[in-house]
Amino acid sequence: MARTALPRSSFCPGNKVIVAFAFLLFSASLCTARALADAIEYCPAGLAAPAQVVAPSVIGLQLESDGPRSVSGSLFVESNVGWYQADFSNVALAQTEVHGGIRGATYTRRTFRSSTLYVQLPTSAHVFAVFIAQAQATGDPDYGWDARGMVGCDSPPAPAPRVASSLVGEPAVALSLPQASSLVLQAQPIAPPAGFTRDCSAPFAGVVQKSRPNLSFDTSSIGVVGVFGVYVRVAVSDSGGVDGAWVIASSGYPQLDNAVLALARRSTYAPAQSYCAPVRGYYDFFFRIDDNRR
């Protein structure tokens, strides 16, 4: 189920990102013509960050997407005492702002995220992995997920629970124990799903950028001098091909954004690896240009 291929889709993420530099403040909508054609979402819902173990038998997590919707589906949990499944239904994803900073730049990106969900295991366990096995969406105005029903989602390249950011530059957030109003999902034991093995030298690995062409961009061509940064996300197929590339934090200048997007498309990648199998995944990188030398 986790390796079911999904139809490819093209749409604009609809997010607006503000990038603040020590020298310049930029604000731009990301729905450029190229981004509209190349933004890719492989599953109706993802984890906003790796799941966290908040108690010996309790896991906390948040769901995330690139657009507003309600999502339903199933989570798989692998542990030292077996596999579990926890189902979620009609979880609303609402717009939120996430603040981050990298290499002297700060940014605010808008995404769509759930409140914290909790998975209650029947017993204490050492959790190896938590990931979305399948999902579907309703109330999605832009992405076309409503018509697709339940789809299988690829297992991630780093499924182990940990306190971590969802994007390089974003602060880690430690989840607390559930409150009385929290949504708690009851996990049920299941037979080990087929196709999930760790019997190889490197069962998990993220997308790797194997080569990147040089980028030469003269900022005088756009009439400004300063420090510029572009955060780009690349969707990489399970064979290493580029399914799409788009800006998730803009410099504010389409010429520079498009130059970095072209670089991302010309780069080569090795696919992510999950449970010893290649899977689709994302490669995020922040490209910085310091043009204060003149």
Quote the pTM value.
0.83
For residues 43 and 154, what is the distance between their CA atoms, to the nearest angstrom? 8
Q: What is the pLDDT of residues 261-291, one digit of tens each?
A: 999 999 999 999 999 999 999 999 888 776 6
Average pLDDT over residues 84-94: 98
Q: Which residues pair with 87 in a beta bridge?
A: 74
Q: Which domains does the chain have, with CATH numbers?
A: 16-190 (no CATH), 208-290 (3.30.2420)
The DSSP element (H or E) to which 273 belongs, if any, is strand 272-274
Confidence check: pLDDT of 137 > 70: yes
If pLDDT is split at 50, 70 and 90, which confidence band does 19 have? very low
Q: Is 148 left (phi over 0), alpha (psi -120 to 50) or beta?
A: alpha
Average pLDDT over residues 167-179: 88
Residue 294 pLDDT: 43
Q: What is the pLDDT of residues 212-255, one digit of tens each?
A: 988 777 666 776 666 667 788 999 999 999 999 988 878 778 88
Residue 98 pLDDT: 82
Q: What is the pLDDT of residues 91-106, one digit of tens each?
A: 999 998 888 777 776 6
Q: What percent of the chain has pLDDT over 90?
A: 59
Average pLDDT score over the chain: 83
Average pLDDT over residues 85-89: 98
Q: Output the CA–CA distances (angstroms, integers) from residue 94 to 47, 48, 60, 76, in the order listed.
A: 14, 12, 18, 24
Residue 153 pLDDT: 96
